[in-house]
Structure 1
Amino acid sequence: MLTKSKFSTKELILTALVAGIYVAVTLVFAPISFGPIQLRIAEIFNILVIYNRRYILSVTLGVFISNIASPLGPLDVIWGSAATCITLIIIYLVVKNITNENLKLAYCVVIVTFSMFTVALELFWILHYPFWITFGTVAAGEFIVMCAGALIFKIINKHINLCR
């Protein structure tokens, strides 16, 4: 998505920084970051994609590395990373021409929350958890985290231009 001329040292540093923070937050809160009832706090970084598409790579890389520690094994690394990347691309495409920050945030929260069907599906396949109950608990946790993230990044964006 980014051309070589646009992928500067600054881009590389920001990508690595966000991915690294995503991993650190996920692992610090590991007991609540995996499973059928989860509050993966690091998911707040999904919000960043409404400000700049560079964060698609950052968050996807963060999920990839974090999921190496997943009790679900290598499938979670591949499935979770792919689902995250696809979800973030969808968000980017949906909001890229919208100028209202609140509307962008709302779309992001809703899309990410509904994307939790991928987590529920994975838990259903691997651990045989009931799909709809698992979707409900994972989506509820994601909705809480994403709403908090929307508020946090809206405030941060007032002081630091996250679009740059």
Structure 2
Amino acid sequence: MEETLSTKNSTKTRNITMVAVVAAIYAVITFAIQPVAFGPVQLRVSEGLNHLAAWNKRYILAVGLGVFIANLVSPLGWIDWVFGTLGTLIMTGITYLLTRRVNSAVLKIIISSVVVATIGMAILAAEFTFAFSIGASGAFPSGSKGGILAQWVAYYITLVPGEIVSLIVGGVVIYALSKVVDLSK
């Protein structure tokens, strides 16, 4: 009985530690590249950590917490704290659900990339459209001359290239890491 309790405590401690470490890494990388990490055209390399959710559900919380911390310095303020974090929790949650029975690291990364580049960026484009349409402090124009849908499409088109680059870089790093560390534990 005592051994089982010790094992449970050890697992709980490991999970909390991993969540804290990944959240800190996400935030530090984002802070380091802050000039290009925010806005409708961004290269937030820390987004490559989204792939971790394909290995263990604790990374949903870890990346979500990292996004929240990083977004504390966002020009959009509370809008990015709330919607940026929720968008991350949604897309990493979907990634986890779609990949939990997938064994191939490459397939996990591909599925994660598709989810993040489509659903994740769709949510972020909606956040930017909302922020601009209400005239939020720190909001930026999409450059679109059309209505709400045209603005959303303009934001989406400008967000996806940087996200794909981040996902490719992150995919390579996470793939290599998965070969030397069991990310599911």
TM-score, normalising length: structure 1 = 0.92
Q: 1:42-121 to 2 correspondence within 5 Å?
A: 42-114=46-118, 115-121=120-126
Deviation at 1:8, TM superposition (A): 1.3
Structure 1 residue runs of 5 or longer lacking an equivalent are none
1:132 aligned to 147, 153, 170, which one?
153
How many residues get paired? 160
Which of the pair has more CA radius of gyration? 2
Counterpart CA distance in 2 for 1:131 and 1:64 is 23
Partner of 2:148: none
Is residue 79–residue 131 contact of structure 2 (8 Å, CA) maintained in 1?
A: no
Deviation at 1:137, TM superposition (A): 1.5
Deviation at 1:145, TM superposition (A): 0.6
Counterpart CA distance in 1 for 2:104 and 2:17 is 28
| SS of equivalent to 2:65 | helix
Is residue 45–residue 169 contact of structure 2 (8 Å, CA) maintained in 1?
A: no
Deviation at 1:71, TM superposition (A): 0.1
Partner of 1:163: 184
Deviation at 1:76, TM superposition (A): 0.7
Is residue 52–residue 183 contact of structure 2 (8 Å, CA) maintained in 1?
A: yes
Deviation at 1:26, TM superposition (A): 0.6
Q: Given residue 48 of structure 2, which amino acid in structure 1 is its aligned partner?
A: I
Structure 2 residue runs of 5 or longer lacking an equivalent are 1-7, 133-140, 143-150
TM-score, normalising length: structure 2 = 0.82
